[in-house]
Amino acid sequence: MSLPKKLLAQLSRLKLQPRYCFSSKFKGEHQSTKHGAGLEFADYRAYQLGDELSHVDWNLYARSRRSFVKVFQFESDLTVSLLIDGSISMDFGMPKKIDLARNIALALSYVVLNSNNRVQLYACQENLIPISPSTFGLPEFFHLSTAMEGFSNLGSLDLATCLRQFTELNQPGLVILISDFFDHTTYQDMLTLLVKQKFEVVLIQILSLEELDPDLSGEAQLVDVETQKSKDVSVTKRSLSTYKKNLEHFLDQIQNFCQQHSITYLQTNNQNSLEQIILENLRKVGLIGTI
């Protein structure tokens, strides 16, 4: 797998902006962000649910009527873990959700490695599957890209088991999970555990346009691609309206859960370009910044 040269040039000017700092035996050049006294002031970012009110710049609020918190930084190593949903449901849409997920992970990996920090890749199926071990330094990007290209076999998903296995293998760090979150396990309990164990968690949800706005009418047979269970339905305006309401409720539940647990959340779809997601959307939610 490869990324366009123009995009790589843009990525080289970016950095990840985690909210917290993580101790490590390694030293990198990433300017990890953390709130606290005695650290060097770096920038402002928009207030997010869960931030300490003491870090809000009230003078700036008085002038703009918008809430911003001060971001402080110090030089430290950062390990970023990228977990990609490897279930069959990701093999849907045009372009396929899994292809976009791979490219997002690859682009973020480039940003991490370019900052002389560490990145590791996993696939989530019935168990956690390593794609690439902890990798350091931009020269390793080619090997990481090759490993990503080798990840092609999709299967069933047990996200709760994968997250449990991940916590058993890793120390606290930044975790980015890319999925459609069509999973029936109690994975939210494991996300809560990750937060309690001081991991910083980011969820990137990818849906297809066909899932967001199905173009169906009349008699149809719907097949669950993972269980192969089928159901005959009569698609009407009323049933489509009910589907969209249920989907909206599903998305709202995820977003509310993330807000309650200080988890960064981005919902996107397969019609958005990789450039838009990385250069615009992830900057808007505060994960990406400029060097």
Mean pLDDT, rounded, for 30-57: 60
- Give the model confidence (pLDDT) of 212-261 as tens digits: 999 888 888 887 777 778 888 888 989 999 999 999 999 999 999 999 99
Find out if CATH 3.40.640.10 is the number for domain 5-14+79-286: no
| Distances from the Cα of 139 to the Cα of 104, 113, 115, 160, angstroms | 19, 8, 12, 34
The domain spans of the chain are 5-14+79-286, 31-75
- Give the model confidence (pLDDT) of 97-124 as tens digits: 999 999 999 999 999 999 888 999 999 9
Contact status, residue 269 vs residue 180, Cβ threshold 8 Å: no
- Give the model confidence (pLDDT) of 81-99 as tens digits: 999 999 999 999 999 999 9
Mean pLDDT, rounded, for 34-47: 55
Model confidence, pTM:
0.82
Separation CA 202–CA 287 (nearest Å): 8
- How deeply is 165 buried, as exposed, middle or buried, from its count of CB atoms within 10 A (0-12, 13-18, 19+)? middle
With residue 167 as reference, give the H or E element that holds it.
helix 159-169
